[in-house]
Chain A
Amino acid sequence: MNTSLLQQVLDRHTRIDESPVADLDVNFGLLDEYSKREIRRAILTAVAVPGYQVPFGSREMPVARGWGSGGLQISLAVVGPDDVVKVIDQGDDEGVNAVNLRRLIVSSTGIPESTTPEDSTLIQTRHRIPEDPLDERHTLILQVPVPEPLRGVERDMRELARMHAEADYARMWVSLYEDKVRNGVITRTTGYPCLVNGRYVIATTPIPRWDVPRLHQSRFLSLFGAGREKRIYAVPPHTDVEPLTFEDVPFEVEITPGAECRSCGSSESFLVEVPGSTADGGGHWVCSDSDWCRRNRERRQHPSRGDRS
Chain B
Amino acid sequence: MNSEWALKVSSLGKIHGVPDLRALEDTGPDVGTAKSSLTGAIVAAWDVGFEVAPGEALGVIGESGSGKSTVMRCIAGDQSSTAGEVFLRSLDHGQTNVLDLDPSARRRLRVADLSVVYQDPAEGLRLNVTAGGNIAEALTAAGWRHFGRIRDRAAELLERTEVPLSRMDDLVGTFSGGMRQRVQLAKALANEPPVVLLDEPTTGLDASVAAGVLDLIRNLLEETGVAAVVVSHDFAVIEMLTTRCVVMNHGRIVEAGLTDRLLEDPHHPYSQRLVGAARA
Taking beta carbons and an 8 Å cutoff, which residues of A are in contact with B? Answer: 162, 165-166, 168, 170-171, 173-174, 177-178, 180-182, 246-249
Contacts and interface: CB of A to CB of B under 8 A. Distances in A.
Given A166-B104, A181-B133, A174 B145 contact: no
Contacts of A247: 145-147
Contacts of A246: 145-147, 150
Nearest to B149: A248
B104 A177 contact: no
Contacts of B161: none
Contacts of B169: 181-182
A178 B133 contact: yes
B140 A170 contact: yes
Given A166-B104, A173-B136, A178 B147 contact: no
B129 A248 contact: no
A180 B147 contact: yes
Contacts of A171: 137
A174 B129 contact: yes
Given A170-B138, A177-B133, A249-B147, 18 more contacts: A162-B104, A166-B104, A166-B107, A168-B107, A168-B141, A170-B141, A171-B137, A173-B140, A174-B140, A177-B150, A178-B129, A180-B147, A181-B130, A181-B132, A247-B146, A248-B147, A248-B148, A248-B149
Contact of A248 (B108, B141, B146): B146
Nearest to A186: B147
A195 to B, nearest CB: 11
Nearest to B130: A178
A301 B159 CA distance: 64
Interface of B: 104, 107-108, 129-130, 132-134, 136-138, 140-141, 145-150, 169
Q: Rank and list the top 4 A-B pairs by shortest CB-CB distance, nearest first.
A: A173-B140, A170-B141, A246-B147, A247-B146
7 contacts: A168-B107, A170-B140, A174-B134, A177-B150, A246-B146, A248-B148, A249-B147
Given A181-B169, A248-B148, A174 B104 contact: no
A174 B146 contact: no
Nearest to B111: A170
Contacts of A170: 137-138, 140-141
A167 to B, nearest CB: 10
B108 to A, nearest CB: 8
A2 to B, nearest CB: 56
Nearest to A171: B137
Contacts of B136: 173-174, 177
A247 B148 CA distance: 9
Contact of A165 (B104, B141, B149, B150): B104
A247 B146 CA distance: 5
A161 to B, nearest CB: 12
Contacts of B133: 174, 177-178, 181
Nearest to A166: B104
A168 B108 CA distance: 9
A177 B141 contact: no
B147 A177 contact: yes
B140 A177 contact: yes
Nearest to A162: B104
Q: Which residue, of B130, B133, B147, has the highest number of chain A Cβ atoms within 10 A?
A: B147
Contacts of A165: 104
Nearest to B145: A247
Contacts of A178: 129-130, 133
Contacts of A249: 147
A78 B130 CA distance: 46
A31 B147 CA distance: 49
Contacts of B107: 166, 168
B132 A177 contact: yes
Contacts of A177: 132-133, 136, 140, 147, 150
Nearest to A167: B104
Contacts of B141: 168, 170
A165 B102 CA distance: 13
Contacts of A173: 136-137, 140, 145
A168 B103 CA distance: 13
A246 B149 CA distance: 10
Contacts of A168: 107, 141
A223 B104 CA distance: 30
A253 B265 CA distance: 71
Nearest to A181: B169
B249 to A, nearest CB: 37
Contacts of B138: 170
Nearest to A177: B136
A206 B111 CA distance: 33
